[in-house]
Structure 1
Amino acid sequence: RRGATRSLAELWEPAARLAEHGLPCSAKTRDDVRSALDAVRSDPGLASVYVDGGLVPLVGDRLPQPDLARTIRELAHDPASFYTGSLAERCVAALRDAGAPFSGDEWVATGTVTPEQALSGRYAGAVIHQTPLPTPGWMVLHQAALCDGVVGSSPLLSAAAIDRMARAARTAFEDRLRWCSADNDGAARILDPGHIRAGRDRLSATAPAGAFTVAGGDTTSLVTVDRDGRAVSFIHSLAFTFGAKFTVPGTGIVLNNRLGRGAYLIDGHPNEVRPRRKPLHTLNAWIVTDEAGALLHVGNTPGGDGQVQWNMQLLSHLLDHGLDPQEAVSAPRFTVFPGSDANVLGDPAELRIEADVPPEVRTALSEMGHDVRTLEPLGAEGSAQIISLDPRGVLSGGSDPRQEGVALGVE
C-alpha cells in the first residue's frame, strides 16, 4: 500500500509458480533434510515434499510444493484470511488437534499490524537504521555506540579491533539477558547516552568478560535496491531447522519454534515465557544512510546470535575501512559464545574465530584474556548479503561465500 507499483497477486505469482513446479534441491536443503530426517518423515506435509518415496532428495531434484503454491495465491488475493478466514481456522484447528491450548482468539488478536519506526543510531559519520523490538536491532546500535571512534582507529581485524568488538558484543548480550523483553523499556535504557558512556568507560578499562548466567537454523534473507533507490532488507526464519517440524495440513505452511528459542523458563525474567508473549528473537536487518537520508548500504545475515555480531563487523568493514560489499561479506569473521539461546546460557565463554585471521592476531587475543577457539576458514557460518550505492549512482553487491547465495544485477 505504501510503495508498491504492482498488485500483491502479481508480485507473488512468480513465487507461487516456483512452489508449484519445485525449486531444485540445493546442497544445504539436502543436508538439512538429513539432519532432521526422522522429524521430516513423521510430518505428512514435510514428508510429501522432502522425502517422497522415503529417500533424501539429491542435489538438483525438483521439490514441488503444490499446497504452498495454492496458499500463496489465496493469501495474495485476501491477506486478511491468514488471521480471520478459512486459512486461519485450519491453522488453529491443526494446533488444537496437536494438543496446543489455543482458542482461536489469539490469531484474530494479531490481525492488525501497525508499521513501526526504525531504531536509528550513528556510526563512523553515517546513520544506521535497524529493526525495532522484538528484534535485537538495538543490540547492533548498542555495539556501534560502544565501538564508534575506537575500532576505526585500529587496522582492519587487528587484535585491538577484534577485542573491542568482541567485548562490546558480550556487553550487549549481558544487557539483553539482564533487562530486555519485547514489551519493556530495556532497550531504551540500554541505549541511553549515560549507559553508553558508562559502557565505553568499562570497556576501556577492563579485561574480557566471562560467561554469564541467569546451532543450526532455518533462516532466509535478502536485500534489494530498485532503480529509484528504494532499498529493502528482509529476513525471515523458522528458528531451528524446519522450525517446529509441523505442517498445517493441506497448506504447505511449516510453523516456527521461535518462542521456544527466544523466551526463557526462568521465573521472573523480563523475557519469561507467558501466554501471548512476543519473544525477543535473533533476526535483524539494517539500512545505512548519510545524514541527509541518502542510501549508502543495505544488508543483513542469518545466523542466530551471530547476526548482531556479524552485522556490527560488516558495518565496521564498510564504514571504518571502505571495503566493498564482496570484500566485507568475505572477510574473516569472529563470534563470541554463548549468546542468548536458552540452552547455552552459562556455558564457558569463548571467542570463535576463523583461521584466516593471522596467527599472531589470535595469539595476541589469547594474551588479552580471550579463550580463542579457531575455526576453519569461512567456518563461522552466516550468509551475509550487502548492496552499496556509490556517489556515482552505481550499485554493487556482495554475497557471502559461507553459504548458498548470489548477487544479481538487472538492467
Structure 2
Amino acid sequence: GAALAERVAAAGGVIGRDDLAAPTAEWAEPVRQDGIWVTPAPTRGPALLAALAGERVLVGGPTGEGTSVVAAADGEGNAVVMVHSNSHPQFGSGLVAEPYDLVLSNRAGRGFHPDPGHPDGPAPGRRPPTTLHAWALDTRGTGRPDLFGATPGGEQQVPWNAQVLGDLMTTGPDDLGAILTRPRWSLQDGARVPVEASASAVRPAHVLLRVTGTGLTAAADPRIGAVALGV
C-alpha cells in the first residue's frame, strides 16, 4: 500500500494511504433469474439478464483491449470464473508500483461518468459501474449451475454473453465448441455489425466450463487466442 501511494503521488495523483485503508472486500450474492446466475451490480450482470429477457439495454464503459478471463475447476466440482482488467490501453494507468511490478489500473476512473451530476458521476465512496461480469447456467434443471462462462470485450460483453447464452438455452450444452465458434455481432452506433466487419479490433474470447457428475468440459473461443487445457 505504501509503495502504491508513493508511486501515485510521484505522478501527481491524489490517492493516499488513507484512501487505500478505507475500502473493504465483501462477499456479494449473485443475481438469479430463470436458471441463470450473474455477478451483481456494479457489474453488468443485471444488464445481461435484462437483455436475455428481451429488454433494450444500453450500456457504456471502457472500450479497447486489456481484459482477461480465466475459468478453472477441480476434480471435486468446484469452479471459479475470474474476469480481470487493467482497462485501456492494455496496461491501465501506465504506472508500475515498485518493487512489486504491480501495474496500476485506471478502470475505476474510466468507469465513472464525466458529469458529477450523473448517477454514475464520481463521488466519495461511490463504486463506478464496470462492464466486467460473469455468469452461470443450470442446463440440467437441478437448481444448481453446471455451466460457467464470461468474455472480455468492453461494452460488447453484454451482447456477446447474451448471444452465447441464447444459443446454449436453445440448442443445449452438448457441443460447446460449435456454439463458441458461431458468427457473432457487435453493437456499433445502435446497429448489429458482424464482429469481423466491426471497426473495433476487439473480438469475443469466451471461455466456457461445464461441471457435471461425469466430469469436466471446457471450451475457449479461438478468435483471439483463448485456450482450454486439461491438466
TM-score above 0.5:
yes
Map 1:124-135; keep pairs closer than 5 Å. Answer: 127-135=35-43
Q: State the distance in 2 between where 1:409 and 1:263 align.
A: 39
Note the residue ranges of structure 2 that are not aligned, 5 or more in a row: none
Deviation per CA, 1:319-368: give whole Å up to 9, x if none.
1122522112111101112xxxxxxxxxx43321146xxxxxxxxxxxxx
TM-score (structure 2 length as normaliser): 0.89
The within-5 A match list for 1:99-178 is: 99-110=12-23, 112-122=24-34, 127-146=35-54, 168=55, 171-173=56-58
Amino acid at match of 1:398: A
Aligned-partner Cα distance in 1 for 2:105–2:141: 38
**Superposition pairs for residues 79-94 of structure 1, below 5 Å?**
88-94=1-7
How far apart in 1 are the matches of 2:96 and 2:41?
27
Residue of structure 1 in register with 2:165 after alignment? 315
Aligned residue runs from structure 1 range 5-404, under 5 A: 88-110=1-23, 112-122=24-34, 127-146=35-54, 168=55, 171-173=56-58, 215-240=63-88, 241-289=90-138, 290-322=140-172, 324-337=175-188, 348-354=189-195, 374-375=197-198, 381-389=203-211, 393-404=214-225
- Partners of 1:408 and 1:351 lie apart in 2 by 32
Higher fraction of strand: 2
How many Å apart are 1:286 and its aligned residue? Answer: 1.1
The answer to whether the 8 A contact 1:229-1:295 is kept is no
* Cα pair 1:121 1:129 within 8 Å, conserved: yes
Q: What's the offset of the Cα at 1:219?
A: 0.9
* Contact 2:186 2:198 (8 Å CA) reproduced: no
Q: Report how many residues are paired.
A: 225
Q: What's the RMSD between the two structures over aligned residues?
A: 2.1
- Native 8 Å contact 2:116 2:123 kept in 1: no
Distance 2:48 2:77 in 1: 24
Which TM-score applies when normalising by structure 1? 0.51
In structure 1, distance between residues paired with 2:221 and 2:94: 27
The separation in 2 between residues aligned to 1:322 and 1:287, in whole angstroms, is 14
Partners in 1 of 2:110 and 2:190 — Cα distance? 20
What's the CA shift string for 1:223-249, capped at 9, x where partnerless? 122212111111100011111111112
Q: Is the 8 A contact 1:242 1:256 kept in 2?
A: yes
| Secondary structure, counterpart of 2:171 in structure 1 | coil
Report SS of the residue matched to 2:83.
strand
4+ aligned runs moved over 3 Å, structure 1:
290-295
CA distance in 1, matches of 2:195, 2:13: 42
Distance 2:214 2:131 in 1: 32
Q: Which amino acid aligns with 1:318?
A: L
**1-structure distance, mates of 2:110, 2:46:** 19
Matched to 1:307, the amino acid is: Q
Tell me, what secondary structure is at the counterpart of 1:402?
helix
Q: 1:349 to 1:143 in 2, by over 3 A?
A: closer
Q: Percent identity?
A: 29
| Larger of the two Rg values belongs to structure | 1
- Counterpart-to-counterpart distance in 1, 2:95 and 2:115: 26
- Structure 1 residue 403 displacement after superposition: 1.2
Distance in 2, matches of 1:336 and 1:300, equals 18
Structure 2 CA distance for aligned equivalents of residues 300 and 99 of structure 1: 35
Deviations 1:68-92 (A, max 9, x none): xxxxxxxxxxxxxxxxxxxx11111
C-alpha displacement of 1:104? 1.7
Specify which structure has the higher proportion of helix: 1
Partner Cα separation in structure 2 for residue 307 and residue 326 of structure 1:
19
Amino acid at match of 1:99: G
Provide closer, same or farther for how the CA distance between residues 401 and 393 of structure 1 changes in structure 2, counting only shifts above 3 A. same
How much has 1:265 moved relative to structure 2? 1.1
2:108 counterpart SS class: helix
